[in-house]
Structure 1
Amino acid sequence: MDELSQGAWAAHPLEVGAVGSLSTLAGMREEWAALMDASDAGPFNAWEWVYPWCRRIATGRRPLVLTARDAVGTLVGLMPLGVEYLGVTGIPVRRLSFLGETHVGSDYLDVVARRGREREVAGAFARMLHALRDEWDVLDLSDLREDSPTVDVLRETFARQDVRVAPRYVCPYDTLTPGEPFDAFLKRTGRRDNFLRRRKWLAKQEGYRIERTDAPGELAAPLTDFFRLHSARWAADGGSQGIKGSGVEAFHRDATQFLAERGRLRLYTMKVGGHAVASVYGILHRDTFVYFQSGYDPAWRNRSVGLVLVGETFRDAMEAGLTEYDFLRGTETYKSDWVSKQRRTLSVRVHAGTWEGRWFSQSESLARLLRNGAKAAMPDTLVEKVRRFRRRRAAVH
């Protein structure tokens, strides 16, 4: 696809091109940020997330960021893709996918377009990809919102048999009412009594305090506490699936710095007696608080330090006038105790029509059947032991 990154391809009234190098991507921050501010795109489509992901995690994947500009050259759309070459039983497969798709839990990935031009921009990108389908084998777009116009546009552009849509995750969230007292909000949750009781006890402990860090130059200590507490929380379960490996930690150190520079980061640390016992890593995205990850000291589990700190993030969001709190993927019980709404994400696979792409999908389906068959044959306790072993091995590597 080298020729694709060297020129623009005219589509409808928009001029569509592509950025194919990390150095060029590095210089797009301000223009990308202006487009994000003028769009309804989710938080993980931001340059501050995508660029460090390319640098720290997907070093073997080449960026292929599609761009759409209007008649005067203003950037009105982006589709942050990357290309990788996979070998399936010795057969090379060219796979396109969203940048940020793996390792870091990026929900709501999508085309980034100016408000009101989402379908137009997605259509221009879809037609470009269709015209160049001899240059790729499969297009995998994961974790789009189920109401994304990109899904319908791809169905309209490609043959029905070449587009497969599958459910991905359930994302619990809720709306916050401006001006509502925090206690009134608590009454609508399943955690009010426990929160108030646990918080009252903690407040009596020497050195109890909650720190919020959002300044770029003050992240080192709270991030170190966060990584330690997150790791401790998941150690008994074989390690974290959300943050594992030095490359992912390096990514988060970069991303949190960039987010803080934009005023988008919220790191909360609960301390008792001078020691950090719980931490929440959040992102501020327009009028939404995005709960990304957390951790706590297992020795303090019976004191519900995690519960109390989550409650305090709700309080802070409400006092800041935010109108939504999003827990992202996962239907853990503690989330449903705080919020009552859900949205879903989808994955879309598009075949370019090459036999390599078909073979890739068939090989994946066969491998999935074999894994599921092996899992069904194992006792539940053995399945869990295998899962924990894989987590520990992944954490080492």
Structure 2
Amino acid sequence: MIRESEVTPAPRPSQWLQVDAVLDPAVLAGMRAEWNALLASSNAGIFNSWEWIYPWCRRIAPDRRPMVLTARDRRGTLVGLMPLGFEVRRVLGRLVGRVAFLGETHVGSDYLDVVARRGAEEEVTRAFAQTLRELHGTWDVLDLTDLHEDSLTVKVLREAFPEMEVQVTDRYICPYERFEKGESFEAFLKRTGRRDNYLRRRKWLEKQEGYRIERTELPGALAAPMADFFRLHAARWAGDGGSQGIKGKGVESFHRDATQLLAEQGQLRLYTMKVGGQAVASVYGIVHRDTFIYFQSGYDPEWRNRSVGLVLVGETFKDSIESGLTEYDFLRGTETYKSDWAAKQRRTVALRIHAKQGAGNWFTRHEEAARTVRNVFKRILPSDAVEKIRRLRRRRAAI
């Protein structure tokens, strides 16, 4: 186990970098300003931001001990961090120490990774890899999920642990689209599979009394549109046993916190479609650098046949292009509506490292055995029975 302290010095792996591990949640709480400065000077994704990670620690995993690796230059400036956490899992009576990304579960965090100043990515990542080697013995499994498939971290960590078992597995496909320079929304529509239906449905909606689309960005204006979003998202998935993306009061609390913090940074885009004063569709989006990130959505099932969800997604594309953004990212998931709007794909992977013998190896074998059993049941049970079980699990998770 890592001993309790605010900042634990780790072996120095570089002549110009000082690597430490932040273990105290109170220290993590005070890192917002320098964390944001580092993120702005990096190529890391928004789900590595303090605004996402800190509320996750508070609302989703308050018992998870932070183990945030930090790298500072000779002047003490933060030039890299790796947002990790440490937990002990008891599996069939055996204790397993596991190190993983903060933000890894419940909230759909894609592209988790090291955050490093541009130009210093490799040296920072190698410094963190060496530190994790030095700390081995305090952990059994290094379990990193949802990295970009081309992540430097995957390459460096594979090289850093040649004597251990290293597994890289596929996670999700993330559809996205890039806009051509100077491209208008009308030109973009012509190369999608939704143009005619979108235009026809939008034309009908525009004739309805009280039709409008509201975009909320300010921190003090989020209460009502967030309430509409949660209601519409829950309504959209009610017939399927509940949402997989937002389930449970803890996750809702996380999103209330995260949207407030993102709005303070000018990165939130919450779109609400209203007809006759009633909210009928909602999209929860995030802007990070030149990219609009479609995070979640919802709509009133009574308006399904009017394609309110389709029209509102189209309006977010229109707003993104007119705002000068150059990319639209749907994140994980290969739903048909995404491929109708976006032609490109990127993938995420998971990286797991553990010794070839011991608790980490046992933990992995246990997981593989459980997965095999689940797959057998899926094959032998009727498809409707499998779906009923899934719905029951979703309902229980939402309680």
Q: TM-score range by the shorter chain?
A: over 0.9
Cα 1:354–1:66 shift into 2, 3 Å = farther
Cα 1:130–1:352 shift into 2, 3 Å = farther
TM-score, normalization by structure 1:
0.98
SS in 1 for 2:104: coil
Q: Per-residue displacement from partner, 1:6-61 (whole Å, max 9, x unpaired)? A: 32431113110011011100100000000000000011000000000000000111
CA separation in 2, counterparts of 1:55 and 1:234?
A: 26
Is the contact made by 1:35 and 1:114 (CA closer than 8 Å) also made in structure 2? yes
Is the contact made by 2:11 and 2:134 (CA closer than 8 Å) also made in structure 1? no
Misfit runs of 4+, over 6 Å: none
After the TM superposition, which of the residue ranges 235-244 and 4-13 deviates more from structure 2?
4-13
* CA RMSD between the two structures: 1.0
**Aligned twin of 2:385:** 382
CA separation in 2, counterparts of 1:33 and 1:353?
A: 38
**Aligned twin of 1:2:** 3
The correspondence of residues 1-397 of structure 1 with structure 2, limited to 5 A, is 1-2=2-3, 5-12=7-14, 13-159=16-162, 161-352=164-355, 355-396=358-399
Cα 1:160–1:310 shift into 2, 3 Å = farther
SS in 2 for 1:207: coil
The amino acid that maps onto 1:67 is T
After the TM superposition, which of the residue ranges 241-250 and 161-170 deviates more from structure 2?
161-170
The amino acid that maps onto 2:147 is L
CA separation in 2, counterparts of 1:102 and 1:248?
A: 10
CA separation in 1, counterparts of 2:94 and 2:141?
A: 14
CA separation in 1, counterparts of 2:376 and 2:387?
A: 15
SS in 2 for 1:184: helix
Unaligned runs of 5+ in 2: none
SS in 1 for 2:103: coil
Instruction: Report the CA distance between 1:179 and its aligned residue.
Output: 2.5
Q: Per-residue displacement from partner, 1:45-87 (whole Å, max 9, x unpaired)? A: 0000000000000011111100001111110100000011100
CA separation in 2, counterparts of 1:121 and 1:128?
A: 11
The amino acid that maps onto 2:93 is G
SS in 1 for 2:137: helix
Instruction: Report the CA distance between 1:178 and its aligned residue.
Output: 3.6
SS in 2 for 1:169: strand
SS in 2 for 1:337: helix
Unaligned runs of 5+ in 1: none
CA separation in 2, counterparts of 1:338 and 1:109?
A: 25
Instruction: Report the CA distance between 1:353 and its aligned residue.
Output: 5.5
Instruction: Report the CA distance between 1:375 and its aligned residue.
Output: 1.2
Is the contact made by 1:136 and 1:352 (CA closer than 8 Å) also made in structure 2? no
Is the contact made by 2:140 and 2:359 (CA closer than 8 Å) also made in structure 1? yes
After the TM superposition, which of the residue ranges 327-336 and 351-360 deviates more from structure 2?
351-360
Is the contact made by 1:178 and 1:322 (CA closer than 8 Å) also made in structure 2? no
The amino acid that maps onto 1:11 is P
Is the contact made by 1:16 and 1:68 (CA closer than 8 Å) also made in structure 2? yes
CA separation in 1, counterparts of 2:247 and 2:21?
A: 32
SS in 2 for 1:345: strand
The amino acid that maps onto 2:11 is W
TM-score, normalization by structure 2:
0.98
Is the contact made by 1:134 and 1:352 (CA closer than 8 Å) also made in structure 2? no
CA separation in 2, counterparts of 1:102 and 1:87?
A: 18
Is the contact made by 1:122 and 1:150 (CA closer than 8 Å) also made in structure 2? yes
Q: Per-residue displacement from partner, 1:166-200 (whole Å, max 9, x unpaired)? A: 00000000101242111111000000000000000
CA separation in 2, counterparts of 1:266 and 1:2?
A: 41
Cα 1:354–1:19 shift into 2, 3 Å = farther
Is the contact made by 2:164 and 2:356 (CA closer than 8 Å) also made in structure 1? no
SS in 2 for 1:228: helix
Cα 1:273–1:128 shift into 2, 3 Å = same
CA separation in 1, counterparts of 2:342 and 2:116?
A: 29
Instruction: Report the CA distance between 1:352 and its aligned residue.
Output: 4.4
CA separation in 2, counterparts of 1:160 and 1:253?
A: 44
